[in-house]
A and B are shown apart, each in its own frame.
Chain A
Protein backbone atom coordinates (compact mmCIF):
# COMPACT_ATOMS: atom_id res chain seq x y z
CA UNK A 1 0.00 0.00 0.00
CA UNK A 2 2.91 2.35 0.76
CA UNK A 3 4.08 2.71 -2.81
CA UNK A 4 0.66 2.42 -4.45
CA UNK A 5 0.39 6.04 -5.65
CA UNK A 6 3.84 5.80 -7.24
CA UNK A 7 3.24 2.68 -9.33
CA UNK A 8 -0.52 2.75 -10.01
CA UNK A 9 -2.30 5.01 -12.43
CA UNK A 10 -4.57 7.65 -10.98
CA UNK A 11 -7.81 5.64 -11.18
CA UNK A 12 -6.38 2.63 -9.35
CA UNK A 13 -4.64 4.90 -6.86
CA UNK A 14 -8.05 6.43 -6.16
CA UNK A 15 -9.38 2.97 -5.36
CA UNK A 16 -6.44 2.39 -3.02
CA UNK A 17 -7.08 5.73 -1.36
CA UNK A 18 -10.75 4.91 -0.80
CA UNK A 19 -9.79 1.55 0.67
CA UNK A 20 -7.64 3.39 3.20
CA UNK A 21 -10.41 5.85 3.89
CA UNK A 22 -12.99 3.19 4.65
CA UNK A 23 -10.51 1.12 6.65
CA UNK A 24 -9.90 4.23 8.78
CA UNK A 25 -13.65 4.60 9.34
CA UNK A 26 -14.20 0.90 10.11
CA UNK A 27 -11.18 0.72 12.36
CA UNK A 28 -12.15 3.84 14.30
CA UNK A 29 -15.73 2.57 14.67
CA UNK A 30 -14.31 -0.64 16.08
CA UNK A 31 -12.46 1.20 18.87
CA UNK A 32 -15.69 2.06 20.64
CA UNK A 33 -18.19 -0.48 19.38
CA UNK A 34 -15.90 -3.47 19.04
CA UNK A 35 -14.40 -3.22 22.50
CA UNK A 36 -17.29 -1.94 24.59
CA UNK A 37 -20.24 -3.43 22.69
CA UNK A 38 -21.86 0.02 22.45
CA UNK A 39 -23.16 -0.06 18.88
CA UNK A 40 -22.55 3.32 17.30
CA UNK A 41 -25.07 3.95 14.52
CA UNK A 42 -23.94 7.55 14.14
CA UNK A 43 -20.32 7.29 13.16
CA UNK A 44 -20.96 9.49 10.12
CA UNK A 45 -21.57 12.38 12.53
CA UNK A 46 -17.95 12.39 13.71
CA UNK A 47 -16.60 11.96 10.21
CA UNK A 48 -18.85 14.78 9.04
CA UNK A 49 -17.85 17.07 11.92
CA UNK A 50 -14.21 16.49 10.99
CA UNK A 51 -14.94 17.26 7.35
CA UNK A 52 -16.71 20.48 8.23
CA UNK A 53 -14.03 21.56 10.72
CA UNK A 54 -11.26 21.06 8.17
CA UNK A 55 -13.23 22.64 5.32
CA UNK A 56 -14.19 25.73 7.31
CA UNK A 57 -10.76 26.21 8.81
CA UNK A 58 -9.19 26.03 5.35
CA UNK A 59 -11.80 27.99 3.43
CA UNK A 60 -12.40 30.80 5.92
CA UNK A 61 -9.26 30.95 8.02
CA UNK A 62 -6.79 29.60 5.43
CA UNK A 63 -5.27 27.32 8.04
CA UNK A 64 -2.15 25.39 7.02
CA UNK A 65 -3.38 21.99 5.75
CA UNK A 66 -1.71 19.64 8.30
CA UNK A 67 -3.18 21.76 11.09
CA UNK A 68 -6.55 21.76 9.36
CA UNK A 69 -6.51 17.96 9.15
CA UNK A 70 -5.62 17.60 12.81
CA UNK A 71 -8.19 20.24 13.68
CA UNK A 72 -10.81 18.04 12.00
CA UNK A 73 -9.89 15.18 14.33
CA UNK A 74 -9.68 17.37 17.41
CA UNK A 75 -13.00 19.00 16.67
CA UNK A 76 -14.72 15.63 16.23
CA UNK A 77 -13.10 14.42 19.45
CA UNK A 78 -14.32 17.51 21.32
CA UNK A 79 -17.80 16.94 19.90
CA UNK A 80 -17.67 13.33 21.12
CA UNK A 81 -16.53 14.45 24.56
CA UNK A 82 -19.47 16.83 24.98
CA UNK A 83 -21.89 14.36 23.40
CA UNK A 84 -20.58 11.37 25.31
CA UNK A 85 -21.41 12.76 28.73
CA UNK A 86 -25.17 12.43 28.22
CA UNK A 87 -25.27 9.81 25.47
CA UNK A 88 -22.98 7.23 27.03
CA UNK A 89 -25.20 7.08 30.07
CA UNK A 90 -27.53 5.11 27.85
CA UNK A 91 -27.13 1.46 27.00
CA UNK A 92 -28.02 -1.10 24.38
CA UNK A 93 -30.78 0.00 22.04
CA UNK A 94 -31.04 3.40 23.74
CA UNK A 95 -27.48 4.19 22.76
CA UNK A 96 -27.77 2.76 19.23
CA UNK A 97 -30.85 4.76 18.28
CA UNK A 98 -29.69 7.88 20.09
CA UNK A 99 -26.59 7.80 17.90
CA UNK A 100 -28.74 7.26 14.80
CA UNK A 101 -30.64 10.37 15.83
CA UNK A 102 -27.38 12.23 16.53
CA UNK A 103 -26.17 11.70 12.97
CA UNK A 104 -29.52 12.79 11.57
CA UNK A 105 -29.75 15.69 14.03
CA UNK A 106 -26.28 17.03 13.15
CA UNK A 107 -27.12 16.85 9.48
CA UNK A 108 -30.31 18.86 9.96
CA UNK A 109 -28.62 21.28 12.35
CA UNK A 110 -25.78 22.08 9.93
CA UNK A 111 -28.37 22.71 7.23
CA UNK A 112 -30.55 25.13 9.24
CA UNK A 113 -30.55 28.86 8.84
CA UNK A 114 -29.32 29.33 12.40
CA UNK A 115 -25.87 28.08 11.49
CA UNK A 116 -25.90 29.45 7.96
CA UNK A 117 -23.28 32.18 8.59
CA UNK A 118 -20.83 29.43 9.55
CA UNK A 119 -21.87 26.42 7.49
CA UNK A 120 -23.57 28.01 4.40
CA UNK A 121 -26.48 25.67 5.20
CA UNK A 122 -27.58 23.50 2.27
CA UNK A 123 -25.28 25.16 -0.28
CA UNK A 124 -22.23 23.51 1.21
CA UNK A 125 -18.67 24.79 1.11
CA UNK A 126 -16.42 24.56 -1.92
CA UNK A 127 -12.77 25.15 -1.33
CA UNK A 128 -9.42 24.40 -2.86
CA UNK A 129 -6.88 22.66 -0.69
CA UNK A 130 -3.89 23.12 -2.96
CA UNK A 131 -2.28 19.85 -1.88
CA UNK A 132 -1.32 16.97 -4.13
CA UNK A 133 -3.09 13.63 -4.28
CA UNK A 134 -0.01 11.86 -2.97
CA UNK A 135 0.06 14.01 0.15
CA UNK A 136 -3.56 13.14 0.87
CA UNK A 137 -2.88 9.49 0.15
CA UNK A 138 0.02 9.33 2.60
CA UNK A 139 -1.96 11.37 5.11
CA UNK A 140 -4.69 8.73 5.00
CA UNK A 141 -2.13 5.92 5.17
CA UNK A 142 -0.61 7.45 8.30
CA UNK A 143 -4.11 7.83 9.78
CA UNK A 144 -4.86 4.15 9.18
CA UNK A 145 -1.48 3.10 10.60
CA UNK A 146 -2.00 5.27 13.69
CA UNK A 147 -5.51 3.99 14.17
CA UNK A 148 -4.46 0.34 13.93
CA UNK A 149 -1.50 1.01 16.22
CA UNK A 150 -3.75 2.67 18.80
CA UNK A 151 -6.19 -0.25 18.52
CA UNK A 152 -3.29 -2.63 19.13
CA UNK A 153 -2.15 -0.59 22.11
CA UNK A 154 -5.67 -0.60 23.52
CA UNK A 155 -6.16 -4.32 22.92
CA UNK A 156 -2.97 -5.19 24.78
CA UNK A 157 -3.44 -2.79 27.68
CA UNK A 158 -5.40 -2.75 30.91
CA UNK A 159 -7.57 -0.08 29.34
CA UNK A 160 -8.62 -2.53 26.63
CA UNK A 161 -9.32 -5.32 29.08
CA UNK A 162 -11.51 -2.98 31.07
CA UNK A 163 -13.40 -2.00 27.93
CA UNK A 164 -13.97 -5.70 27.22
CA UNK A 165 -15.19 -6.14 30.77
CA UNK A 166 -17.76 -3.42 30.07
CA UNK A 167 -18.83 -5.33 26.94
CA UNK A 168 -19.27 -8.58 28.84
CA UNK A 169 -21.09 -7.20 31.87
CA UNK A 170 -21.04 -3.54 32.67
CA UNK A 171 -22.50 -3.83 36.13
CA UNK A 172 -20.06 -6.53 37.17
CA UNK A 173 -17.23 -4.42 35.79
CA UNK A 174 -18.39 -1.43 37.79
CA UNK A 175 -18.64 -3.49 40.95
CA UNK A 176 -15.00 -4.53 40.38
CA UNK A 177 -14.10 -0.87 40.71
CA UNK A 178 -13.96 0.06 37.02
CA UNK A 179 -15.04 3.61 36.28
CA UNK A 180 -17.01 2.62 33.21
CA UNK A 181 -18.22 6.11 32.28
CA UNK A 182 -14.69 7.52 32.04
CA UNK A 183 -13.42 4.56 30.03
CA UNK A 184 -16.34 4.60 27.63
CA UNK A 185 -15.92 8.32 27.04
CA UNK A 186 -12.19 7.84 26.41
CA UNK A 187 -12.89 5.15 23.82
CA UNK A 188 -15.63 7.31 22.29
CA UNK A 189 -13.29 10.29 21.99
CA UNK A 190 -10.46 8.24 20.46
CA UNK A 191 -12.89 6.67 18.02
CA UNK A 192 -14.26 10.09 17.05
CA UNK A 193 -10.77 11.57 16.69
CA UNK A 194 -9.77 9.09 14.01
CA UNK A 195 -13.12 9.38 12.23
CA UNK A 196 -12.74 13.17 12.26
CA UNK A 197 -9.15 13.02 11.06
CA UNK A 198 -10.05 10.68 8.19
CA UNK A 199 -13.03 12.91 7.39
CA UNK A 200 -10.83 16.01 7.42
CA UNK A 201 -8.38 14.48 4.97
CA UNK A 202 -11.24 13.25 2.82
CA UNK A 203 -12.78 16.73 2.66
CA UNK A 204 -9.57 18.02 1.06
CA UNK A 205 -9.86 15.11 -1.38
CA UNK A 206 -13.44 16.07 -2.29
CA UNK A 207 -12.88 19.87 -2.16
CA UNK A 208 -16.51 20.14 -1.14
CA UNK A 209 -18.73 19.48 1.86
CA UNK A 210 -22.51 19.75 2.23
CA UNK A 211 -24.88 18.34 4.86
CA UNK A 212 -26.49 15.75 2.60
CA UNK A 213 -23.36 14.05 1.31
CA UNK A 214 -21.24 14.55 4.41
CA UNK A 215 -23.65 12.92 6.85
CA UNK A 216 -24.94 10.30 4.43
CA UNK A 217 -25.87 7.10 6.25
CA UNK A 218 -23.57 5.07 3.99
CA UNK A 219 -20.61 6.36 6.02
CA UNK A 220 -22.13 4.68 9.04
CA UNK A 221 -23.42 1.53 7.35
CA UNK A 222 -20.45 0.57 5.22
CA UNK A 223 -17.82 0.82 8.01
CA UNK A 224 -20.06 -1.26 10.31
CA UNK A 225 -20.49 -3.98 7.68
CA UNK A 226 -16.73 -3.93 7.09
CA UNK A 227 -15.94 -4.29 10.78
CA UNK A 228 -18.51 -7.06 11.23
CA UNK A 229 -17.20 -8.85 8.17
CA UNK A 230 -13.60 -8.76 9.33
CA UNK A 231 -14.37 -9.34 12.99
CA UNK A 232 -15.73 -6.95 15.59
CA UNK A 233 -13.36 -6.25 18.46
CA UNK A 234 -10.26 -7.53 16.68
CA UNK A 235 -7.24 -5.46 15.64
CA UNK A 236 -6.99 -6.42 11.98
CA UNK A 237 -10.61 -7.44 11.35
CA UNK A 238 -11.69 -3.97 10.20
CA UNK A 239 -8.58 -3.70 8.01
CA UNK A 240 -9.25 -7.00 6.25
CA UNK A 241 -13.01 -6.42 6.06
CA UNK A 242 -12.48 -2.85 4.85
CA UNK A 243 -10.08 -3.86 2.12
CA UNK A 244 -12.19 -6.70 0.76
CA UNK A 245 -15.49 -4.87 0.97
CA UNK A 246 -14.22 -1.62 -0.49
CA UNK A 247 -13.07 -3.54 -3.56
CA UNK A 248 -16.55 -5.09 -3.62
CA UNK A 249 -18.06 -1.64 -3.04
CA UNK A 250 -16.23 -0.30 -6.06
CA UNK A 251 -17.71 -3.12 -8.11
CA UNK A 252 -21.18 -2.49 -6.68
CA UNK A 253 -20.95 1.21 -7.49
CA UNK A 254 -20.04 0.35 -11.04
CA UNK A 255 -22.81 -2.22 -11.55
CA UNK A 256 -25.67 -1.65 -9.09
CA UNK A 257 -25.40 2.07 -8.44
CA UNK A 258 -29.02 2.41 -7.36
CA UNK A 259 -28.98 -0.59 -5.10
CA UNK A 260 -25.55 -0.20 -3.55
CA UNK A 261 -26.89 0.35 -0.04
CA UNK A 262 -29.33 -2.56 -0.38
CA UNK A 263 -26.43 -4.89 -1.14
CA UNK A 264 -24.76 -3.79 2.08
CA UNK A 265 -28.01 -4.24 3.98
CA UNK A 266 -28.31 -7.82 2.79
CA UNK A 267 -24.65 -8.41 3.52
CA UNK A 268 -25.06 -7.12 7.08
CA UNK A 269 -28.07 -9.37 7.72
CA UNK A 270 -26.35 -12.41 6.24
CA UNK A 271 -23.18 -11.78 8.26
CA UNK A 272 -25.12 -11.44 11.49
CA UNK A 273 -26.98 -14.69 10.82
CA UNK A 274 -24.16 -16.84 9.47
CA UNK A 275 -20.80 -15.30 10.36
CA UNK A 276 -21.38 -13.26 13.50
CA UNK A 277 -17.79 -13.67 14.69
CA UNK A 278 -16.34 -12.27 11.50
CA UNK A 279 -13.88 -13.55 8.95
CA UNK A 280 -10.83 -13.44 11.21
CA UNK A 281 -12.33 -15.63 13.95
CA UNK A 282 -13.74 -17.98 11.34
CA UNK A 283 -10.29 -18.37 9.80
CA UNK A 284 -8.83 -19.05 13.21
CA UNK A 285 -11.39 -21.74 13.88
CA UNK A 286 -10.62 -23.33 10.52
CA UNK A 287 -6.91 -23.13 11.43
CA UNK A 288 -6.25 -20.87 8.45
CA UNK A 289 -4.40 -18.49 10.69
CA UNK A 290 -2.71 -19.08 13.99
CA UNK A 291 -4.94 -18.90 17.03
CA UNK A 292 -4.05 -16.18 19.47
CA UNK A 293 -5.58 -14.91 22.65
CA UNK A 294 -9.10 -13.86 21.78
CA UNK A 295 -9.72 -10.23 22.49
Chain B
Protein backbone atom coordinates (compact mmCIF):
# COMPACT_ATOMS: atom_id res chain seq x y z
CA UNK B 1 0.00 0.00 0.00
CA UNK B 2 1.42 3.38 -0.99
CA UNK B 3 0.56 6.93 -0.17
CA UNK B 4 -1.66 7.23 -3.24
CA UNK B 5 -4.18 5.09 -1.42
CA UNK B 6 -4.87 8.10 0.75
CA UNK B 7 -5.82 10.23 -2.24
CA UNK B 8 -5.31 13.99 -2.26
CA UNK B 9 -5.07 14.17 1.52
CA UNK B 10 -1.54 12.80 1.44
CA UNK B 11 -0.16 15.92 -0.22
CA UNK B 12 -1.98 18.80 1.45
CA UNK B 13 0.40 21.64 0.59
CA UNK B 14 0.58 20.88 -3.11
CA UNK B 15 -3.09 20.11 -3.45
CA UNK B 16 -4.44 23.09 -1.51
CA UNK B 17 -4.15 25.54 -4.41
CA UNK B 18 -5.71 23.09 -6.82
CA UNK B 19 -8.48 22.34 -4.36
CA UNK B 20 -9.85 25.85 -3.89
CA UNK B 21 -12.24 25.81 -6.88
CA UNK B 22 -13.31 22.29 -5.90
CA UNK B 23 -14.14 23.50 -2.41
CA UNK B 24 -16.06 26.47 -3.79
CA UNK B 25 -18.05 24.23 -6.13
CA UNK B 26 -18.76 21.78 -3.34
CA UNK B 27 -20.02 24.50 -1.02
CA UNK B 28 -22.44 25.95 -3.59
CA UNK B 29 -23.73 22.49 -4.52
CA UNK B 30 -23.93 21.74 -0.81
CA UNK B 31 -26.46 24.52 -0.26
CA UNK B 32 -28.76 22.99 -2.86
CA UNK B 33 -28.38 19.43 -1.56
CA UNK B 34 -28.82 20.72 1.97
CA UNK B 35 -32.11 22.38 1.14
CA UNK B 36 -33.56 19.04 -0.04
CA UNK B 37 -32.34 17.33 3.13
CA UNK B 38 -33.78 20.23 5.10
CA UNK B 39 -37.23 19.38 3.80
CA UNK B 40 -36.85 15.89 5.26
CA UNK B 41 -35.29 17.05 8.52
CA UNK B 42 -37.97 19.65 9.24
CA UNK B 43 -40.65 16.95 9.39
CA UNK B 44 -38.60 14.73 11.67
CA UNK B 45 -37.83 17.64 13.98
CA UNK B 46 -41.43 18.86 14.07
CA UNK B 47 -42.70 15.42 15.11
CA UNK B 48 -40.04 15.07 17.77
CA UNK B 49 -40.81 18.51 19.15
CA UNK B 50 -44.52 17.84 19.56
CA UNK B 51 -44.59 14.23 20.75
CA UNK B 52 -41.01 13.29 21.70
CA UNK B 53 -41.03 10.50 19.14
CA UNK B 54 -38.15 9.95 16.75
CA UNK B 55 -39.86 8.41 13.79
CA UNK B 56 -37.49 5.74 12.47
CA UNK B 57 -39.83 5.17 9.51
CA UNK B 58 -39.42 8.79 8.37
CA UNK B 59 -36.90 7.68 5.74
CA UNK B 60 -39.41 5.17 4.38
CA UNK B 61 -41.87 8.02 3.83
CA UNK B 62 -39.24 9.64 1.61
CA UNK B 63 -38.86 6.35 -0.25
CA UNK B 64 -42.63 6.02 -0.72
CA UNK B 65 -42.88 9.57 -2.06
CA UNK B 66 -40.06 8.84 -4.48
CA UNK B 67 -41.58 5.61 -5.77
CA UNK B 68 -45.03 7.17 -6.02
CA UNK B 69 -43.53 9.84 -8.27
CA UNK B 70 -41.60 7.26 -10.26
CA UNK B 71 -44.61 5.03 -10.96
CA UNK B 72 -46.95 7.96 -11.61
CA UNK B 73 -44.47 9.15 -14.22
CA UNK B 74 -43.59 5.75 -15.69
CA UNK B 75 -47.01 4.09 -15.76
CA UNK B 76 -49.52 6.94 -15.97
CA UNK B 77 -47.30 9.66 -17.38
CA UNK B 78 -47.98 12.21 -14.69
CA UNK B 79 -45.54 15.11 -14.67
CA UNK B 80 -43.14 14.62 -11.70
CA UNK B 81 -43.65 18.22 -10.59
CA UNK B 82 -47.37 17.53 -10.15
CA UNK B 83 -46.39 14.37 -8.29
CA UNK B 84 -44.76 16.53 -5.63
CA UNK B 85 -48.27 17.62 -4.65
CA UNK B 86 -49.66 14.09 -5.04
CA UNK B 87 -46.92 12.65 -2.80
CA UNK B 88 -47.54 15.39 -0.28
CA UNK B 89 -51.24 14.58 -0.06
CA UNK B 90 -50.90 10.77 -0.11
CA UNK B 91 -48.21 10.74 2.55
CA UNK B 92 -50.21 13.20 4.63
CA UNK B 93 -53.03 10.68 4.85
CA UNK B 94 -50.66 7.76 5.35
CA UNK B 95 -49.11 9.63 8.27
CA UNK B 96 -52.58 10.37 9.61
CA UNK B 97 -53.53 6.69 9.55
CA UNK B 98 -50.22 5.51 10.96
CA UNK B 99 -50.41 7.94 13.84
CA UNK B 100 -54.03 7.19 14.68
CA UNK B 101 -53.60 3.43 14.54
CA UNK B 102 -50.09 2.95 15.94
CA UNK B 103 -48.02 5.87 17.16
CA UNK B 104 -50.70 7.42 19.38
CA UNK B 105 -50.73 4.21 21.45
CA UNK B 106 -47.14 4.69 22.61
CA UNK B 107 -47.33 8.43 23.37
CA UNK B 108 -46.13 9.07 26.90
CA UNK B 109 -44.56 5.61 27.17
CA UNK B 110 -40.80 5.16 27.47
CA UNK B 111 -38.69 6.10 24.46
CA UNK B 112 -38.02 2.40 23.87
CA UNK B 113 -41.62 1.81 22.81
CA UNK B 114 -41.84 4.46 20.13
CA UNK B 115 -38.34 3.74 18.80
CA UNK B 116 -39.04 0.03 18.49
CA UNK B 117 -42.53 0.55 17.08
CA UNK B 118 -41.43 2.91 14.32
CA UNK B 119 -38.38 0.70 13.70
CA UNK B 120 -40.75 -2.22 13.13
CA UNK B 121 -42.89 -0.17 10.74
CA UNK B 122 -39.78 0.96 8.90
CA UNK B 123 -38.62 -2.62 8.35
CA UNK B 124 -42.10 -3.64 7.24
CA UNK B 125 -42.28 -0.83 4.66
CA UNK B 126 -38.86 -1.27 3.08
CA UNK B 127 -38.99 -5.03 2.93
CA UNK B 128 -42.46 -4.97 1.38
CA UNK B 129 -41.23 -2.33 -1.06
CA UNK B 130 -38.32 -4.60 -1.97
CA UNK B 131 -40.70 -7.43 -2.73
CA UNK B 132 -43.12 -5.26 -4.72
CA UNK B 133 -40.82 -2.77 -6.50
CA UNK B 134 -37.81 -5.16 -6.79
CA UNK B 135 -34.38 -4.04 -5.65
CA UNK B 136 -33.45 -2.55 -9.02
CA UNK B 137 -32.18 1.01 -8.89
CA UNK B 138 -34.54 3.47 -10.59
CA UNK B 139 -34.61 7.17 -11.40
CA UNK B 140 -37.01 9.70 -12.88
CA UNK B 141 -35.09 11.21 -15.79
CA UNK B 142 -37.21 14.31 -16.04
CA UNK B 143 -35.08 17.36 -15.38
CA UNK B 144 -31.79 16.67 -17.10
CA UNK B 145 -29.07 19.18 -17.74
CA UNK B 146 -27.70 21.96 -15.62
CA UNK B 147 -27.52 25.73 -15.48
CA UNK B 148 -24.73 28.03 -14.34
CA UNK B 149 -25.23 29.62 -10.95
CA UNK B 150 -22.53 31.84 -9.40
CA UNK B 151 -20.06 30.20 -11.79
CA UNK B 152 -20.98 26.68 -10.80
CA UNK B 153 -22.94 24.21 -12.88
CA UNK B 154 -26.00 23.19 -10.90
CA UNK B 155 -28.33 20.41 -12.00
CA UNK B 156 -31.80 21.73 -12.83
CA UNK B 157 -33.34 19.23 -10.45
CA UNK B 158 -31.32 20.75 -7.58
CA UNK B 159 -32.74 24.15 -8.40
CA UNK B 160 -36.26 22.73 -8.48
CA UNK B 161 -35.60 21.02 -5.14
CA UNK B 162 -34.31 24.25 -3.65
CA UNK B 163 -37.38 26.13 -4.87
CA UNK B 164 -39.80 23.53 -3.52
CA UNK B 165 -37.96 23.42 -0.20
CA UNK B 166 -38.08 27.20 0.22
CA UNK B 167 -41.75 27.30 -0.78
CA UNK B 168 -42.81 24.54 1.61
CA UNK B 169 -40.71 25.74 4.53
CA UNK B 170 -42.03 29.30 4.20
CA UNK B 171 -45.56 27.88 4.05
CA UNK B 172 -44.86 25.82 7.16
CA UNK B 173 -43.52 28.84 9.03
CA UNK B 174 -46.55 30.89 8.06
CA UNK B 175 -48.83 28.05 9.10
CA UNK B 176 -47.12 27.65 12.49
CA UNK B 177 -47.00 31.38 13.07
CA UNK B 178 -50.45 32.55 12.05
CA UNK B 179 -52.99 29.75 11.83
CA UNK B 180 -55.00 28.47 14.78
CA UNK B 181 -53.71 24.90 14.35
CA UNK B 182 -50.17 26.18 13.93
CA UNK B 183 -50.38 27.96 17.25
CA UNK B 184 -51.78 24.82 18.83
CA UNK B 185 -48.83 22.83 17.48
CA UNK B 186 -46.37 25.33 18.91
CA UNK B 187 -48.14 25.34 22.25
CA UNK B 188 -48.15 21.54 22.45
CA UNK B 189 -44.50 21.49 21.51
CA UNK B 190 -43.66 23.85 24.37
CA UNK B 191 -45.68 22.06 27.01
CA UNK B 192 -48.35 19.53 26.16
CA UNK B 193 -49.96 19.43 29.59
CA UNK B 194 -50.45 23.17 29.79
CA UNK B 195 -51.69 23.12 26.20
CA UNK B 196 -54.27 20.51 27.16
CA UNK B 197 -55.38 22.60 30.13
CA UNK B 198 -55.83 25.55 27.78
CA UNK B 199 -58.36 23.55 25.83
CA UNK B 200 -56.20 22.32 22.98
CA UNK B 201 -57.06 18.84 21.73
CA UNK B 202 -53.46 17.61 21.92
CA UNK B 203 -54.30 14.25 20.40
CA UNK B 204 -55.55 15.94 17.23
CA UNK B 205 -52.51 18.21 17.27
CA UNK B 206 -50.20 15.22 17.43
CA UNK B 207 -52.01 13.50 14.57
CA UNK B 208 -51.85 16.64 12.44
CA UNK B 209 -48.15 17.09 13.23
CA UNK B 210 -47.30 13.50 12.37
CA UNK B 211 -49.23 13.76 9.11
CA UNK B 212 -47.45 17.03 8.26
CA UNK B 213 -44.08 15.42 8.96
CA UNK B 214 -44.94 12.53 6.65
CA UNK B 215 -46.21 14.95 3.98
CA UNK B 216 -42.91 16.86 4.04
CA UNK B 217 -40.97 13.61 3.75
CA UNK B 218 -43.19 12.52 0.86
CA UNK B 219 -42.74 15.74 -1.10
CA UNK B 220 -39.00 15.56 -0.45
CA UNK B 221 -39.13 12.01 -1.83
CA UNK B 222 -40.70 13.30 -5.04
CA UNK B 223 -37.82 15.76 -5.40
CA UNK B 224 -35.28 13.06 -4.55
CA UNK B 225 -36.63 10.81 -7.31
CA UNK B 226 -35.79 13.51 -9.86
CA UNK B 227 -32.39 14.18 -8.31
CA UNK B 228 -30.80 10.88 -7.31
CA UNK B 229 -31.27 7.16 -7.83
CA UNK B 230 -34.05 5.54 -5.85
CA UNK B 231 -34.27 2.03 -4.39
CA UNK B 232 -36.41 0.44 -1.65
CA UNK B 233 -33.72 0.57 1.02
CA UNK B 234 -32.83 4.21 0.45
CA UNK B 235 -34.94 5.32 3.42
CA UNK B 236 -32.30 4.65 6.00
CA UNK B 237 -29.76 6.91 4.29
CA UNK B 238 -32.19 9.80 4.46
CA UNK B 239 -33.18 9.07 8.03
CA UNK B 240 -29.50 9.13 9.05
CA UNK B 241 -28.93 12.38 7.19
CA UNK B 242 -32.05 14.03 8.59
CA UNK B 243 -31.19 12.85 12.07
CA UNK B 244 -27.63 14.16 11.84
CA UNK B 245 -29.12 17.47 10.71
CA UNK B 246 -31.60 17.78 13.56
CA UNK B 247 -28.91 16.82 16.04
CA UNK B 248 -26.80 19.61 14.55
CA UNK B 249 -29.67 22.03 15.00
CA UNK B 250 -31.03 20.61 18.24
CA UNK B 251 -33.93 18.12 18.36
CA UNK B 252 -37.29 19.82 17.98
CA UNK B 253 -35.96 23.13 16.68
CA UNK B 254 -37.13 23.98 13.17
CA UNK B 255 -34.83 26.96 12.52
CA UNK B 256 -32.04 24.74 13.89
CA UNK B 257 -32.97 22.04 11.38
CA UNK B 258 -32.72 24.54 8.52
CA UNK B 259 -29.30 25.83 9.55
CA UNK B 260 -28.19 22.26 10.23
CA UNK B 261 -29.26 21.14 6.77
CA UNK B 262 -27.13 23.78 5.06
CA UNK B 263 -24.06 22.90 7.15
CA UNK B 264 -24.72 19.24 6.52
CA UNK B 265 -25.17 19.64 2.78
CA UNK B 266 -21.87 21.51 2.53
CA UNK B 267 -20.06 18.88 4.63
CA UNK B 268 -21.41 16.00 2.59
CA UNK B 269 -20.68 17.67 -0.69
CA UNK B 270 -17.10 18.43 0.41
CA UNK B 271 -16.53 14.86 1.56
CA UNK B 272 -17.84 13.53 -1.75
CA UNK B 273 -15.53 15.84 -3.73
CA UNK B 274 -12.36 15.53 -1.68
CA UNK B 275 -12.57 11.85 -0.72
CA UNK B 276 -14.30 8.93 -2.38
CA UNK B 277 -17.91 9.52 -3.47
CA UNK B 278 -19.08 6.68 -1.22
CA UNK B 279 -17.50 8.40 1.77
CA UNK B 280 -20.37 10.88 1.74
CA UNK B 281 -22.43 8.10 3.32
CA UNK B 282 -20.14 8.12 6.35
CA UNK B 283 -20.61 11.86 6.81
CA UNK B 284 -23.74 11.65 8.99
CA UNK B 285 -21.92 9.38 11.41
CA UNK B 286 -18.82 11.54 11.55
CA UNK B 287 -20.91 14.68 12.11
CA UNK B 288 -23.02 12.99 14.76
CA UNK B 289 -19.99 11.63 16.59
CA UNK B 290 -18.16 14.95 16.49
CA UNK B 291 -21.07 17.01 17.75
CA UNK B 292 -22.03 14.52 20.39
CA UNK B 293 -18.50 14.50 21.76
CA UNK B 294 -18.39 18.28 21.90
CA UNK B 295 -21.97 18.88 22.99
CA UNK B 296 -24.16 15.80 23.58
CA UNK B 297 -27.42 17.70 23.17
CA UNK B 298 -26.67 19.15 19.73
CA UNK B 299 -25.32 22.51 18.67
CA UNK B 300 -28.37 24.61 19.45
CA UNK B 301 -30.33 22.13 21.57
CA UNK B 302 -31.23 22.43 25.20
CA UNK B 303 -30.11 19.58 27.46
CA UNK B 304 -32.38 16.56 26.91
CA UNK B 305 -33.69 14.79 29.96
Contact = CB atoms under 8 A, between A and B. Distances in A.
Q: Are A and B a genuine interacting pair, yes or no?
A: yes
* Most A-side CB within 10 Å, residue of B110, B115, B130: B115
Interface stretch (B11-19, B24-32, B282-290): B282-290
A107 to B, nearest CB: 9
Contacts of A276: 109, 113
A86 B292 contact: yes
Interface in A27-67: 37, 39, 41
A253 interface: no
A261 interface: yes
B289 A93 contact: no
Nearest to A114: B5
Given A86-B289, A94-B296, A117-B1, A273 B117 contact: yes
Contacts of A264: 120, 123
A171 B278 CA distance: 40
Grouping DSSP codes into helix (H, G, I), strand (E, B) and loop, the A interface class, with mixed when no group exceeds half, is: helix
B81 to A, nearest CB: 32
A262 B122 CA distance: 9
Contacts, number: 143
Interface string B117-153: 1011111111110110000000000000000000000
Interface in B226-256: 236-237, 239-240, 243-244, 247, 251
A122 B56 CA distance: 28
B112 interface: yes
Contact of A89 (B116, B122, B236, B296): B296
Contacts of A116: 5
A259 interface: yes
A217 B124 CA distance: 13
Contact of A262 (B48, B127, B288): B127
A87 B296 CA distance: 9
A266 B57 CA distance: 13
Interface in A261-295: 261-262, 264-270, 272-273, 276
Contacts of A269: 102, 116-117, 120-121, 124
Contact of A113 (B48, B112, B123, B276): B276
Nearest to A89: B296
Contacts of A105: 281-282, 284-286
B122 A265 contact: yes
Contacts of A114: 5-6, 276
Grouping DSSP codes into helix (H, G, I), strand (E, B) and loop, the B interface class, with mixed when no group exceeds half, is: helix
A170 to B, nearest CB: 9
Interface of B: 1, 5-6, 48, 54, 56, 102, 105-106, 109-113, 115-117, 119-128, 130-131, 236-237, 239-240, 243-244, 247, 251, 276, 278-279, 281-282, 284-286, 288-289, 292-293, 296, 304-305
Nearest to A41: B119
20 contacts: A37-B110, A39-B112, A39-B115, A90-B292, A92-B304, A93-B111, A97-B240, A104-B285, A105-B282, A108-B279, A108-B281, A113-B5, A113-B276, A224-B116, A259-B131, A261-B126, A264-B123, A269-B102, A269-B121, A270-B120
Given A86-B289, A93-B111, A112 B276 contact: yes
Contacts of A92: 111, 304
* Most B-side CB within 10 Å, residue of A101, A111, A268: A101
